Each structure stands twice: as C-alpha cells, then as structure tokens.
Amino acid sequence: MKLSDFMNNLEASKNKTDLNSSNLELILDILKKINSSLVLNEVLELVLINAINITKSERGFIVLHEDDKLNFKICMDNHGKHLSQESFHLSTSVVNDVYDSGQSKFIESALNDSSKPSQSIIDLKLQTIMCAPLKSKEEYFGVIYVDSQVLNKINNKEIIEMFEILAGQAGIVINNALMHQRQVSANNKLNKAFQELEIARQESNKFEELKNHFLSQMSHEIRTPINIIIGCTELLKSNRHGIDSNEIKELFTMLEQGSNRIVRTLEEIIEMSKIKSGNYEIHKDKIDLEKGVINPILKQYDPIAQSKGLILTFEISSTKNEIICDKFMIYQIIQELVDNAIKFTLSGSIKLRQFDNEDGKLCITITDTGIGISQEFMSNLFEPFVQEYTGLSRKFDGNGLALALVKKYCEMNNLSINIISQKEKGTEVTLVFN
C-alpha cells in the first residue's frame, strides 16, 4: 500500500479510531519519514526510533525472518544509540508467539529473564513490553518490539493503538526496502556477471592472439633451422660447387646449430607443458654449485662467447657452495640466463659472480653489457611466448619460453630472481638461494 492510500484510508476512518487529531497528525508525519527512503538500514532505524518515541519506551529491536529463523536486524535505545543483541534477555517465546500468531502482545510486569542461577528474585527486573508483527499483504516476515523498565509507562490504549498502526504500515515500508535491496543485489550480481563475461571475452581474444603468436613463433623457430638443414644437406649431397674442407666444416656447424635449435624449442615446449599440467617431478639433491653446474656451463658457452668476440668470466667469493635443489632445473636456469646474455650482447662481456649477500644467502649474478630491456617490457618478462622483439624480421631467435621456464624453475626450487636492466646499457640477473 502506498503512503497516499494509507493516509486516505486513515482520514476516512477517523471516526473508527480512538486517536485524537494530534496523534493522527503525528502518525502521518512518522509515515512520511519512514517512506522517505528505500535503504533497508535507514528504514529500520526510522521505524524503530519512532516506535520507541511514540510509546515512550526505553529501547527496542526489530527481527526479520531470514533463512528459516528470526534474526536480529537492529537494536536501539531511546537516544538513537545502537545496542547489542545481548542487551535483550526477554524470552524468545514472546517474539515467536507474536510472529507465529500474527497478533500483537502488550505485557505488563514482564519478568526480565537475564537472571543467572545465582541471581536472587530481588535482583530480577520487571518491564512493560509491546510486541507487534510486521506484515506485507498476507505474509508475516518479522517482529517489532519495545520495552520500558518503568512499570505501566506505556500503559495507554491510544499509545498501544498508535504502535499497532505504525507496525502495520512499517511492515509494508520495510518489505518495500527489502525488495529494493534484493533488486539492487540482483542488479549488482548481473553487473558482475556482465563484467566477468567481458573479462572472459577479453581473455578469449587474448588467448586467440597468444595462440596465433605462438603458431607464428613456432613456425619460425622450427621452419628456419629446418630450411638451413635441408639447404646444407642438399649442398653436401650434390657437391657440385667443389666445396672445400673448411666450407664442409661450416656446413656441419650450421647443421648442428639448426638441429640444436629445433631440439631446444621442442624441449622447452615439453618442459612448460609438464609444469602447466602439474606432471613435473622435482628431484632435489645435494649439489656442488661450482663444479656440478657453473663450470660445465662455462665450458659449453666459452667457445660461443669467443666466436662473438665476447669475454665470459666467473668470479667466486662465497663461503657456501653446496645447495639442495633439482640439479636439472638449476642447470637450466643458469644455462638459459648465460645463453640470453650472450645472445643479446653484441660486444663487451658477460660476468658470472658467486657470492654471499648481506643476509648470508648464496647468490649468483649474471651481468652483461648487452642491448638491455625496456622498462615497458619488464612486466611481461616472464610471460610465456612473449618477446620484446617480435615478427619474422627480428634480429634474435627464440620462442619466448626461456625466461618463463626460468621463473617456474626458480619458484619450484625456492629461489628468488631479480632483474635490473637499462636499454643499451646491459642487464644484471641475481639469483638468491633461500
């Protein structure tokens, strides 16, 4: 029922009520106030404080039926202060009776059951209470309750009638606020669903772009060395141009490099696939870091560095050397970082350093004088299949998996990795064995 409808009904039934004109005006003013909002908490506060005031009570509460039980929604005193549910010790049977029967109760000299087993009858307080159901259409959905510690303070027929009229109209207003709240909640859920759908759409587009990029990268990373291998093989088979021994040696070097590039690409894809699927097994053992990992890598990459005119050095100052990690993963981490340093360094040096940091933890740094990494790309550094230099005409080969694998291997072996880089100045990568 709208406020205007109730006011018309109330005006028409003045002769049927004992309320005097001033109290009718008071009720109408209260109804205007409680109809001024659709926010549930505001409506509950307005209803309760006005119910307390018109009955000259000291406090009150409102309970609503939710999840198959009556739940306290708001408790207040006559100063507008919010109280805790524990402040009310009235037996719940009164509230339940009002809700179940749909009939208001006015009780004088009600016994406050806040008593404890040790409490004497002299300590018990008597109170006067009023309790009315909250109703919308034919459905009861809550109860409003007020009480006073002063006996007979609200014992007035006109006040009781005002309280019941207020409770009857409050039920409609509160129900409207509840429906509004549910509508707002439904709208929020719908908006959230739309947002999630939009995110899913964007992710789908991103995945499609990633897939296309991946296929393009893999095509380049596999077809290029295969073409080299086929070309070299054809030249060796025909030998129509009288290839000398040095040229043959160079062809075999190209065959080896092309084959290794294909094998490495496939191995990195398989490794990432294992990690993503959770099928990777870690085998941690005690490892001599210098002898078991770094020295073999230096031996493997020193000729490659020299062929580019680069200086590859190793410096050790740490007091620790033994680590407990997966040897394959640690080898792959340092190998990939050294490989990247050599690949992206056109002149200068690559320096490995093994030392203890300020916290006494074993560290490895790989420092190069290469082309560096832009600050804009740093946030994408460990994303799989993502490279700063893309396209078929790029100067550097690679599939964008190396650093993604390095990051995963570090996480699986409890290593921290930090990269500092400046464009055209070089890059420093620090590994910390925690």
Residue 238: the pLDDT is 67
For 66-94, write each residue's pLDDT tens digit: 888 888 899 999 999 999 887 776 556 78
Which string of b and e fits 316-352 if b means at least 16 CB within 10 Å? eebeeeebebbbebbbbbbbbbbbbbbbbbeeebbbb
Mean pLDDT of the chain: 80
Residue 117: the pLDDT is 41
For 139-172, write each residue's pLDDT tens digit: 888 999 998 876 555 557 888 888 888 888 888 8
Report which of 344, 360, 359 is spatially closest to residue 429, judged by C-alpha positions: 344
| Chain mean position to CA 391 | 35
Which string of b and e fits 76-103 if b means at least 16 CB within 10 Å? bebeeeeeeeeebebeeebbeebbeeee
Residue 325 has pLDDT above 50, yes or no: yes
Mean pLDDT (whole number) for 28-39: 82
For 172-186, write each residue's pLDDT tens digit: 888 888 888 888 888
- The span from the CA of 307 to the CA of 327, in Å, is 28
| Chain mean position to CA 34 | 38
Contact by Cβ (8 Å): 173, 65: no
| Integer CA distances (angstroms), 84 to 42, 67, 77, 135, 256, in order | 18, 21, 10, 25, 80
More confident residue, 217 or 39: 39
Mean pLDDT (whole number) for 303-325: 93
Question: Which helix (H) or strand (E) segment is 324 a member of?
Answer: strand 322-326
Coil, helix or strand for 171? helix
Residue 114: the pLDDT is 47
Residue 384 has pLDDT above 80, yes or no: no
Contact by Cβ (8 Å): 141, 102: no
More confident residue, 252 or 96: 96
Contact by Cβ (8 Å): 62, 34: no
- Tokens representing residue 106 in the block: 């006015």
- The span from the CA of 224 to the CA of 216, in Å, is 12
- Tokens representing residue 86 in the block: 């524990």
Residue 323 has pLDDT above 70, yes or no: yes
- Domains present along the chain, CATH in parentheses: 3-186 (3.30.450.40), 282-433 (3.30.565.10)
Residue 305: the pLDDT is 94
Neighbours of 120 (CB within 10 A): 7
Residue 49 has pLDDT above 70, yes or no: yes
Inter-axis angle of helices 3-12 and 21-34, to 10 degrees? Answer: 170
- Tokens representing residue 181 in the block: 């709240």
